[in-house]
Every structure is written in structure tokens, then in C-alpha cells.
């Protein structure tokens, strides 16, 4: 019974961190699926979202609900700006060129935050207060439930948006073939800009939930969840919206299970080994489409 409770508790720990990964991975996968670029700065937009929320709530004393909206708006605008300045001129360049620029943007955001907010972590209490639920000996944290719910809603919302709106269809078209989409009268630039706006807004949501969970602001806070979420997105099949959700949750659970029952020292090694194994068995991730080149 104790063992079972232990396993259950560790599963919940996995869900807690996994739901955050999933939320971030959704943003990654969205941008990747449509703009076909790995946005290495995605994690740093989460950081910006977290700091923005802090500025609105603690420094400007805006009502938390409004602050959430403002934060999402701020990040979306920032996403658009970054896209316009740093990525758009590279639309026709090699894909790697954009990747490197994204890394540059990541450095830029981190160092800007460092200059503005300094290196010392800033404590910032959660604005989301949801009571935990206790079932038997197991306690489920309120925030975990909120994060899971938000991630699920976002996933469903994104799927509906992509499949049932005009903009969504444009996105699908652009993701299939930019050139053809352009010929069909789709405004590719605008579609990609909107993709970035949505991706950044999702990053903001992730940032808000992340900071509510961990309550400490650091200029580098986005880096690690960013890279883990990237792994999650690939694990789930990058470009696939439900894949991102599954990848995130699976990654979180593997992580907490290997920490609990194998080795905390080698947890990262185990997580990445799992990734390699999954990709060897299924080269395009759990839910990814294998694109076969037509000969």
C-alpha cells in the first residue's frame, strides 16, 4: 500500500512538471509546425512572461486577472516584434540561419533581463490560489490541476482553431507548402506572424503558470524548461498538437519515475536515453507524421 501510494505520488509529481512541459511544448510545436523553425528563444519568452506578470502585479499593482491578460498581450506583441525584426528577413535563408538568430535572440532576452532585474532571484508569490485535494494519503496540488486543465484547454482550443477557422486553414496550408500557399492567395507573412503571436502568447501562459508553481524569478529561468519542452515536443512528434501534450506528460512522468526509482544522479541521462530509444523505434516521435519524400 505504501509502495502504491509512493508510485501514485511520484506519478502526480510527473504530471505536475509534465503539464508545464506540455504547455511550453505546445508553443514550440505550433511555431515549428507552421514556420518550420526551432525557436530557441521560446524558453526565454516564458521568462519574459514571468517577469512581465511580476511587473504588472507587484510593481504596477494591476489586478491579477487583468495582469494575466496584459502579460499575454505583451508577450504576443513581443513575439510579433521579434519575428518581424529577427526572423522575417531570413524567411528564404537556410533554416539553420534562423536557428542561430533565434539563439541570438535568446541571449539578448536573457541579458536584457539580467540588466533590468539583476541576477538575484526575485520572490514572487503565486497569483493563482487553488486549494489542494486530498484523496486518502495522496495530495493533488491545486496548481497542478489548474496547469493540466489549462494545457488541455489550450490543446483542444488549438486543435479546433487550426482545423475549423480560416486562419487555421491558412496555417495548415503554410505548413504544408509555403510556396503553394502563397499561390493560393494566402498571406504567408501574416500567417506566420500570427503563428508567432499565438506561440508567444502560449509561452506567456506557460510563464504565468510556471512562476505560480515555482515562485522565483531568474533571468535564466526559461532555459531549462525550454530545452526540456523542446525534447517533449520532439518526443511527441514535433508539429503535432496532441503530440506535444503527450510528449510533455510522458517526459515529466519518466523524469519523476527515474528520479524516484532509478537514480536521481542519472535522471537526465535516463530521460535522454528514453528519447533516443523512442526516436529509434519511431523516428518521427510518438504522434509525428513521417514525411516520406516523393521520388
Partner 1 sequence: MKKVLKTAGIACTIAMLASSVASAADTFLIGGVGPLTGAAASYGVSVKQGAEIAIEEINAAGGVTVGDTTYELALQFEDDQASEDIAPQAYNAVMDAGANVIMGAVTSGACIAITAQTYADGILQVTPSGSAEACIENDNAFRICFSDPEQGVAMADYMTDTLGLTKIAVIYNTADEYSTGIREAFEAEVAEKGGEIVASEAFQTNDTDFNAQLTTINGTDAEAIYVPAYYQDATYITKQASDMGMSLPFFGSDGWDGVLGTVTDPATVEGCIFTSPFCASVDDEKTVAFVEAYKAAYDATPDQFAADGYDCVYTFKAAMEQAGSIESADLIAAMTEISVSGQTGDPITFDASGAPIKDVKFVTVKDGAYTFVE
Partner 2 sequence: MKKYGKQIIGCVAAAAVYAAVMILVNGGFLSRQMMSLIIPVCMNIILAVSLCMVVGFLGELSLGHAAFMSIGAYSGALILKSGLPTVAALPLAVLVGGVCAALLGLLVGIPVLRLRGDYLAITTLGFGEIIKSVFNAATPVTGGAGGLKKIPPVTTYRNFTFVYILMLLVILLVSNLVKSRHGRAICAIRDNYIAAEAIGIKVSFFKTMAFVIAAFMAGMAGVVYAGNIGILKPVNFDYNTSIEILVMVVLGGMGNITGSIIAAFLLTVLPEMLRGLSNYRMLVYAIALIAMMLFNNSPLKRMLVEKHNMRQAGKIE
Q: Name the residues that contact partner 1, by CB under 8 A.
A: 2, 6, 9-10, 13-14, 16-17, 111, 114, 118-126, 132, 139, 141, 214-216, 218, 220-221, 223-225, 255-256, 259-260, 263-265, 267-268
Q: Kindly tell me which of 154 and 221 has the beta carbon lying closer to partner 1.
A: 221
Helix (H) / strand (E) element for 123: namely: strand 122-123
Between 61 and 164, name the residue whose CB sits nearer to partner 1: 61
149 interacts with partner 2 by CB under 8 A:
no
Burial class (CB in 10 A: 0-12, 13-18, 19+), 251: buried
Q: Kindly give, in sequence order, each residue whose CB lies less than 8 Å from that of residue 13, ignoring residues fewer than 6 positions away.
A: 256, 260
Stretch that binds partner 2, among 73-81, 137-145, 149-157, 271-279 (CB under 8 A): 271-279
The C-alpha cell at 60 is 504596477
Q: How far apart are CA 271 and CA 264, in angstroms?
A: 11
Geometric angle at alpha carbon 97, from 189 and 37, rounded to 5°: 50
- Name the strand (E) or helix (H) holding 165: none
Confirm or reject binding of residue 107 to partner 2 (CB under 8 A): yes
125 binds, among partner 2, partner 1, none (CB under 5 to 8 A by kind): partner 1
Integer Cα distance of 10 and 156 in angstroms: 26
Which partner from the list partner 1, partner 2, none does 13 bind, CB cut-off 5 to 8 Å by kind? partner 1
Query: Which grid cell sits at 233?
Result: 515536443
- Of the pair 90, 188, the CB lying nearest partner 2 is at 90
CB of 248 to partner 1, least distance (A): 13
**Rounded to 5 degrees, what angle do the CA atoms 148, 248, 207 make?**
65
CB 196 within 8 A of CB 80: yes
- Look at residues 199, 208, 192 and name the one whose alpha carbon lies nearest to residue 158: 199
Between 26 and 72, whose beta carbon lies closer to partner 2? 26
Q: How far is the CB of 13 from partner 1 (least distance, A)?
A: 4
Nearer to partner 1, 90 or 112 (CB): 112
Which DSSP category does 119 fall into? Answer: S
Question: Which residue number, 80 or 108, has a Cβ lying nearer to partner 1?
Answer: 108
Residues 208-237 that bind partner 2 (CB under 8 A): 227, 230-231, 234
Could you list the residues that contact partner 2 (CB under 8 A)?
Answer: 32, 38, 86, 89-90, 92-94, 96-97, 99-101, 103-105, 107-108, 111-112, 114-115, 227, 230-231, 234, 238, 263, 265-269, 272-273, 275-276, 279-280, 283-285, 293, 295
Amino acid at each position: 500500500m505504501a509502495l502504491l501510494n509512493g508510485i501514485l505520488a511520484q506519478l502526480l509529481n510527473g504530471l505536475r512538471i509534465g503539464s508545464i512541459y506540455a504547455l511550453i511544448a505546445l508553443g514550440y510545436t505550433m511555431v515549428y509546425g507552421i514556420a518550420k523553425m526551432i525557436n530557441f528563444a521560446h524558453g526565454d519568452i516564458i521568462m519574459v512572461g514571468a517577469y512581465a506578470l511580476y511587473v504588472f502585479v507587484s510593481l504596477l499593482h494591476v489586478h491579477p486577472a487583468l495582469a494575466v491578460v496584459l502579460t499575454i498581450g505583451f508577450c504576443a506583441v513581443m513575439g510579433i516584434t521579434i519575428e518581424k525584426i529577427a526572423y522575417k528577413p531570413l524567411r528564404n535563408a537556410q533554416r539553420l540561419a534562423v536557428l542561430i538568430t533565434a539563439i541570438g535572440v535568446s541571449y539578448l532576452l536573457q541579458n536584457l533581463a539580467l540588466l533590468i532585474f539583476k541576477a538575484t532571484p526575485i520572490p514572487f508569490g503565486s497569483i493563482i490560489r487553488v486549494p489542494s485535494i486530498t484523496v486518502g494519503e495522496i495530495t493533488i496540488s491545486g496548481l497542478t490541476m489548474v496547469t493540466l486543465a489549462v494545457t488541455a484547454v489550450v490543446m483542444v482550443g488549438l486543435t479546433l482553431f487550426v482545423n475549423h477557422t480560416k486562419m487555421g486553414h491558412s496555417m495548415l496550408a503554410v505548413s504544408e507548402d509555403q510556396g503553394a500557399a502563397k499561390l493560393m492567395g494566402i498571406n504567408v507573412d501574416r500567417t506566420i506572424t500570427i503563428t508567432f503571436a499565438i506561440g508567444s502568447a502560449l509561452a506567456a501562459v506557460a510563464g504565468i503558470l510556471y512562476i505560480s508553481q515555482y515562485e522565483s524569478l531568474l533571468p535564466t529561468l526559461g532555459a531549462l524548461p525550454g530545452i526540456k519542452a523542446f525534447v517533449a515536443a520532439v518526443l511527441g512528434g514535433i508539429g503535432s498538437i496532441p503530440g506535444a501534450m503527450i510528449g510533455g506528460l510522458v517526459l515529466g512522468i519518466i523524469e519523476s519515475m527515474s528520479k524516484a526509482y532509478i537514480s536521481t544522479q542519472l535522471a537526465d541521462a535516463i530521460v535522454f536515453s528514453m528519447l533516443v530509444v523512442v526516436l529509434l523505434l519511431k523516428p518521427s516521435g510518438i504522434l509525428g507524421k513521417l514525411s516520406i519524400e516523393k521520388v
